Chain A
Amino acid sequence: MCTVVPISLTVGANRIVPAVAIPHPLGNPELPPAEEKALRRRLVEKALKALQTEVEGQTVFED
C-alpha cells in the first residue's frame, strides 16, 4: 500500500494498492475519527482483496 505508485512500480512490487497521501497513507486527518477509520478499513480490505487475487505481473488495484 503506497501513495507514490510509480515508485512501487519501479522497485518491482507485484500487488499495489494506492493510498491517500504521503504523510498519512492510511488515514485522512480532515475526517472525523470514525469516518477516518472506515476509510482505513476500506483500504486494508482492498489490500486483502489484492492478496487473494491471482496476478500475472505488476498490478495496481484501482477501485
Chain B
Amino acid sequence: MGKIRVVHYLNQFFGQIGGEDKAGVGPQVKEGPVGPGTALQQALGEEGEVVATVICGDNYVADNLDRAKREILELIRRQKPDALVAGPAFNAGRYGTACGAIGQAVAEELGIPVVSGMYEENPGVDLYRKDIYIVSTLDSARGMRQAIPAMAALVLKLARGEEIGSPAAEGYLPRGIRRNRFAQEIGAERAVKMLVAKLKGESFTTELPMPDFDRVLPNPPVADLRKATIALVTSGGIVPKGNPDRIESSSASKYGKYSLEGFTDLTPETHQTAHGGYDPVYANQDPDRVLPLDVMRDLVAEGVIGGLHPYYYATVGNGTSVANAASFGAAIAADLKEAGVTAVILTST
C-alpha cells in the first residue's frame, strides 16, 4: 500500500495562528504539516504523510460544537485521509475536548483510526476515551517530544490494521475495554503472587483497577429530630409493583422517585424488588425489610421524627457503574435539598 494519508488537527495556538485572542477563529486548512506536525511527519517517516493540517480556534469549537464539528469533519473528509491525529492537547481542557469531539465524529462518520494525546486529567479524556485512542502525555507542551513519536507509532499500527496491545504496552489511556486472553497461571496463583509482592513491598500490576471513589466531609448532625424531615433512599431495588420505570435488574441506568402517600406499610401487593443481585424472596414477601416504611410511619406518629418525605428514591445497586451511581446521587440530593429534607436514611442490600 502507498503512504498512509494523515490529517493533523491543531488549535489556533499550535496551528501558529495566535494565542487566546485568536481562540475564536473558525476552521481552516493548510497543506502539509504545521507546528508540531513537522515532528509528526518525521515520526511517521516513509510510511505516512501529513497531507493537511486542519486548524480551529478552541473557543469556536467550544461555543458552536455541533456546527464546528460538521464544518471540520467536511474539511477533513475532503483530504480523503486514512487516519486523523488530533493534538496533543496535554492538559488544555478546551483543546482536549475539541480533539475528542472531532475525533469521535471522524471515527464515526469516516470510519478511520483516530489518535489524540492528552494528560490523564484533561476533561477530554473521560468524555472521549471510549471513542478514540488517547496517548498519555505530560500536562504541558514540554511533553511534546515523547508524545509525538508515541502517537505516530500508534496511528501507523492502527492504519495498517495491526493488533493493538494493552494500554500499558502501547502508551494510550485505558478505554474501558476488556479482552479475553489465555494466562499460564490460574487466577488464584496470580492473586497470591500479587499479595506476596504487596506484603514484601514490591511492585505489582493489578488486573482490575478499582475506580476512584471521592470522599466528602461528613455533614453536621441533625440538631432536632422532632423538627426534621427524613427521606428514604435505597439501592436495594424496591419499586412499586410491576416496576413501572423498568429499572434494570443490574447495571441500572436510572433511578425512580415514588410517592409514599397513602402507604403505611409495604406489602407484596403494592411493592417488590427489581434487584437482580440477591435472592428476592424476602424483599418481595415484605419490602419493609429493605425500605423500612412501617417503622418510619410509627416514628412520625409518635413524634420521634418531624416528618417523612412524601417520596422515596430507588435504584438497583448491582454492577451499576460508579459514574451512573454518582449522577443518580447528585440528582436525588438536589431534589431532596429543594424539598427541604433534613436528612436521609439510605438502605443498601
Which chain A residues have a beta carbon within 8 Å of chain B's beta carbons? 1-4, 7-8, 10-15, 19, 22-27, 29, 37, 40-41, 43-45, 47-48, 51-59
Cα separation A19 to B347 with both chains bound (whole Å): 9
Q: A2's closest neighbor in chain B, by CB?
A: B348
A45 to B215, CA, bound (A): 26
A-contacting 9-mer, from B35-43, B164-172, B183-191, B286-294: B286-294
A26 touches B218 (CB 8 A): no
Q: How far is the CA of A48 from the CA of B286 in the complex (A)?
A: 22
* In the assembled complex, B301 has its CB within 8 A of some CB on chain A: no
Contact A3 B345 (CB under 8 A): no
Closest chain A CB from B272 CB (angstroms) = 13
Alpha-carbon distance between A19 and B289 when the two chains are bound, in angstroms:
10
Nearest chain B CB to A20's CB is how many angstroms away? 8
- For B348, what are the chain A residues with a Cβ–Cβ distance below 8 Å? 1-4, 7-8, 25
- Binary per-residue interface labels of chain B (329-349) against chain A in the complex, 1 for a CB within 8 Å, 0 otherwise: 000000000000001011111
Most buried by B among A8, A11, A47, A57: A11
Partner of B213, one of A12, A47, A57: A12
What are 26 residue pairs bridging A and B, where the CB atoms are less than 8 Å apart in the complex?
A: A2-B348, A14-B218, A14-B219, A22-B349, A23-B282, A24-B283, A24-B289, A25-B236, A25-B289, A25-B290, A26-B291, A26-B347, A27-B288, A27-B289, A29-B282, A37-B295, A40-B292, A40-B294, A41-B295, A41-B299, A44-B292, A45-B299, A48-B304, A53-B221, A56-B218, A57-B218
Determine if A54 and B289 form an interchain contact, defined as CB atoms under 8 angstroms apart.
no
Contact A15 B218 (CB under 8 A): yes
Q: By the criterion CB–CB under 8 Å, are B295 and A25 in contact? A: no
| Least distance between A53 CB and chain B CB atoms (Å) | 6
Chain A contact residues, majority secondary structure: loop
With a cutoff of 8 Å between Cβ atoms, the chain A residues found around residue B222 in the complex are 51-52
User: Which residues does chain B contribute within 8 Å of A24, judged by CB atoms?
Assistant: 282-283, 289-290
For A15, what are the chain B residues with a Cβ–Cβ distance below 8 Å? 218
Q: Please measure, in the bound complex, the distance between the C-alpha atom of A14 and the C-alpha atom of B283, giving whole angstroms.
A: 26
Q: Would you call B250 an interface residue if the criterion is a C-beta within 8 Å of the partner chain's C-beta atoms?
A: no
The reply to whether B220 and A54 form a contact with Cβ atoms under 8 Å apart is yes
Contact among A10, A22, A44 with B345 in the assembled complex (CB-CB below 8 Å): A44
Residue on A nearest B215 in the bound complex, by CB: A12
Residues in B266-306 with C-beta less than 8 Å from chain A: 278-283, 285-286, 288-292, 294-296, 298-299, 304-305
> Once the chains bind, are B292 and A52 in contact (CB under 8 Å)?
no
Bound-state Cα–Cα, A27 to B289, Å: 5
How many Å lie between the Cα of A14 and that of B280 in the bound state?
28
- Known contacts A24-B290, A25-B289, A59-B218; can you find 8 more A-B pairs with CB under 8 A? A10-B210, A23-B283, A26-B292, A27-B286, A27-B288, A41-B295, A48-B345, A52-B225
**Contact for B347 among A25, A51, A52, A53, CB less than 8 A:** A25
